[in-house]
């Protein structure tokens, strides 16, 4: 269809109940809701190739030039779309591989105009893109996810309020918490929330903007260290495991999701993802998938969404499922889907944005994903080196993904390895060899 096609009127899709038992690799699909499209929805699917009205290639845009944008661009190009990236970094991973790269700030008025003129629909690859920029783009082109959903994910206070509202029906609540925006709220924090974790309401990811506190005095000192910005104090919970669910939801309300991944973090950064059916009891996995679908539906969400969960020790055999946070984009823990599933999270991001049907993903191989941080490019003396890729790529089922970043830095995500195989045991055995060869952390946790 033409990029200038008329946009449909706004009618929110009603919530859709999730029933049935989970598939081996994905939750049951939620069918399209019987409702008109939301604002900015194309009047028909954006099919790859030349536009029938203008003759120019149908182009999908992305705000942000990181590795998630790069993998989105690769997926879109493989399906036949042109791509455009708005990202100020000249050497950004996504900008280097896209058809067009607008090297301008995310809130630059001229840059936003150029991106809108170049694209038929636009997404984002990270949650801290200005929501106001997405709102401006949405006045001219379909944008998914929308500004309201991204703004909510940017603010832990609003995010937890949404989780709390959803818990009344999903039955999966977040950890007990208190909002701290003033000295009075700090003084009124209930004693039973301590010890806890103080988190800034905004701009926190990969462990940033978080401090553990043991008592009221430590809490007061931590808030001062965080410059007394708005924060959330979460009660410290006895964790058994961490999981995430990646979901895709279309303009019509239809949704599909992957089986939950079990994640291991080291130093607040994801180190290992275990992706196979036996990583979580089926009943608990179904609850996590249903809660994710409810969270997305109540936001009228469009695009790929990841919701992170804890399983906490409450004395029961399975433990208690707790929702932690959400990311309005594809997620690091879902990278295994490129190699282990017939449809990846990035394929689904393309389909959702373009208004194409969302195929229910099937996982054809168990997988373990290992993150590759910049630390790997330095030896014990701090001298730069090249990791021994030849040794690990000689092992069966090893898939290397490097993100094209020109400089390795400590803690910087440079790439990942996905190990696939015929059985969980085979994947675990190869992963252990890879970890031993490269010295990677987290596999045994």
* DSSP line for 222-268: HHHHTTT--EEEEE---EEEEEEEEEEE-TTS-EEEBPPEEEEEETT
Fold of 59-156+239-354: Rossmann fold (3.40.50)
Residues linked to residue 241 through DSSP beta bridges, in sequence order = 311
CA distance 22 to 431: 27
Average pLDDT value for the chain: 90
Residues 6+ apart with CB under 8 A from 183: none
- Does pLDDT of 14 surpass 90? no
Query: What pLDDT shows up at residue 44?
Result: 86
pLDDT digits (tens, 9 = 90+) for 416-437: 999 999 999 999 999 999 999 9
CA distance 277 to 259: 7
CA distance 77 to 336: 19
Least Cα distance to 310 among 260, 370, 257 occurs for 260
Q: How large is the average pLDDT for residues 195-209?
A: 82
- Does pLDDT of 36 surpass 80? no
Fold of 176-235: Dna Ligase; domain 1 (3.30.1490)
Query: What pLDDT shows up at residue 209?
Result: 84
Beta strand spans in 30-77 (E) = 59-63
For the chain, the first-to-last Cα distance in angstroms comes to 50
Question: Domain 367-438 sits in which CATH superfamily?
Answer: ATP-grasp fold, B domain (3.30.470.20)
Is the link from the previous residue into 145 a cis peptide, with omega within 30 of 0? yes
pLDDT digits (tens, 9 = 90+) for 166-180: 999 999 999 999 999
Tokens, residue 407: 């400089």
- The secondary structure of 71-116 as a DSSP string is HHHHHHHHTT-EEEEE-S-TT-TTTTTSSEEE-S-TT-HHHHHHHH
* Total residues belonging to the chain: 445
pLDDT digits (tens, 9 = 90+) for 316-371: 999 999 999 999 999 999 999 999 999 999 999 999 999 999 999 999 999 999 99
In the structure, how many helices (H) and strands (E) does the chain have?
12, 17
- Does pLDDT of 18 surpass 50? no
Pinpoint the residues of the chain covered by CATH 3.40.50.20.
Answer: 59-156+239-354
Phi, psi of 156 (to 5 degrees): -60, -30
Cα 227 off chain centre by:
28
Query: What pLDDT shows up at residue 16?
Result: 30
Query: Considering the entire predicted model, what is its pTM?
Result: 0.90
Query: What pLDDT shows up at residue 15?
Result: 29
- Does pLDDT of 66 surpass 70? yes
Positive or negative CA dihedral for 246, 249, 253, 254? negative
User: 318 versus 31: which is more confidently predicted?
Assistant: 318
Evaluate whether 210 touches 197 at the Cβ level (below 8 Å): yes
Residue 91 pLDDT level (bands cut at 50, 70, 90): very high
Tokens, residue 338: 């490129």
Query: What pLDDT shows up at residue 8?
Result: 29
Least Cα distance to 270 among 340, 327, 317, 224 occurs for 327
H or E segment and range at residue 70 = helix 67-78
Query: What pLDDT shows up at residue 206?
Result: 58
pLDDT digits (tens, 9 = 90+) for 148-158: 999 999 999 99
Pinpoint the residues of the chain covered by CATH 3.30.470.20.
Answer: 367-438
- Does pLDDT of 2 surpass 50? no
H or E segment and range at residue 372 = strand 367-373
- The secondary structure of 214-227 as a DSSP string is -SHHHHHHHHHHTT
Tokens, residue 175: 């950890």
pLDDT digits (tens, 9 = 90+) for 247-268: 999 999 999 999 999 999 999 8
Query: What pLDDT shows up at residue 40?
Result: 67
Evaluate whether 360 touches 26 at the Cβ level (below 8 Å): yes
- Does pLDDT of 88 surpass 60? yes
Residues linked to residue 367 through DSSP beta bridges, in sequence order = 275, 420
Query: What pLDDT shows up at residue 290?
Result: 97
Q: What is the DSSP letter of 20?
A: S
Pinpoint the residues of the chain covered by CATH 3.30.1490.20.
Answer: 176-235
């Amino acid at each position: 269809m033409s990029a200038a096609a008329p946009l449909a009127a706004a009618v929110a899709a009603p919530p859709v109940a999730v029933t049935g038992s989970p598939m081996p690799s994905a939750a049951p699909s939620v069918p399209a809701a019987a409702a008109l499209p939301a604002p900015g929805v194309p009047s028909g699917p954006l099919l790859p190739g030349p536009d029938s009205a203008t003759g120019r290639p149908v182009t999908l845009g992305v705000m942000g030039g990181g590795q998630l944008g790069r993998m989105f661009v690769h997926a879109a190009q493989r399906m036949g779309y042109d791509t455009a990236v708005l990202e100020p970094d000249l050497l950004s991973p996504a900008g280097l591989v896209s058809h067009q790269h607008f090297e301008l700030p995310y809130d630059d008025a001229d840059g936003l105009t150029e991106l809108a003129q170049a694209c038929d629909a636009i997404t984002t690859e990270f949650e801290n893109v200005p929501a106001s920029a997405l709102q401006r783009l949405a006045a001219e082109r379909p944008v998914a996810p929308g500004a309201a959903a991204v703004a909510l994910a940017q603010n832990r206070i609003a995010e937890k309020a949404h989780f709390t509202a959803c818990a009344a029906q999903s039955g999966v609540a977040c950890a007990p918490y208190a909002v701290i925006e003033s000295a009075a709220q700090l003084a009124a924090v209930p004693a039973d929330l301590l010890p806890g974790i103080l988190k800034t309401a905004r701009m926190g990811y990969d462990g940033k903007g978080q401090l553990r506190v043991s008592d009221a005095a430590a809490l007061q000192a931590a808030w001062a260290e965080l410059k007394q910005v708005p924060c959330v104090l979460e009660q410290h919970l006895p964790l058994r495991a961490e999981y995430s669910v990646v979901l895709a939801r279309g303009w019509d309300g239809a949704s599909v999701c992957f089986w939950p991944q079990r994640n291991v973090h080291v130093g607040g950064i994801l180190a290992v993802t275990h992706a196979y059916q036996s990583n979580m009891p089926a009943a608990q996995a179904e609850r996590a998938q249903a809660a994710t679908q409810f969270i997305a539906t109540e936001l009228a969400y469009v695009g790929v969404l990841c919701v992170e969960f804890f399983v906490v020790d409450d004395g029961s055999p399975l433990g208690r499922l707790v929702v932690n946070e959400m990311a309005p984009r594809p997620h690091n823990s879902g990278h295994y889907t490129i190699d282990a599933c017939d449809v990846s999270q990035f394929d689904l991001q393309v389909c959702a944005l373009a208004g194409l049907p969302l195929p229910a993903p099937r996982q054809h191989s168990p997988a373990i994903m290992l993150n590759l941080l910049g630390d790997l490019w330095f030896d014990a003396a701090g001298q730069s080196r090249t990791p021994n890729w030849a040794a690990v790529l000689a092992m069966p089922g090893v898939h290397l993904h490097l993100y094209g970043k020109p400089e390795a830095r400590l803690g910087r995500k440079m790439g990942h390895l996905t190990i696939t195989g015929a059985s969980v045991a085979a994947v675990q055995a190869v992963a252990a060899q890879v970890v031993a060869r490269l010295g990677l952390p987290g596999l045994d946790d």
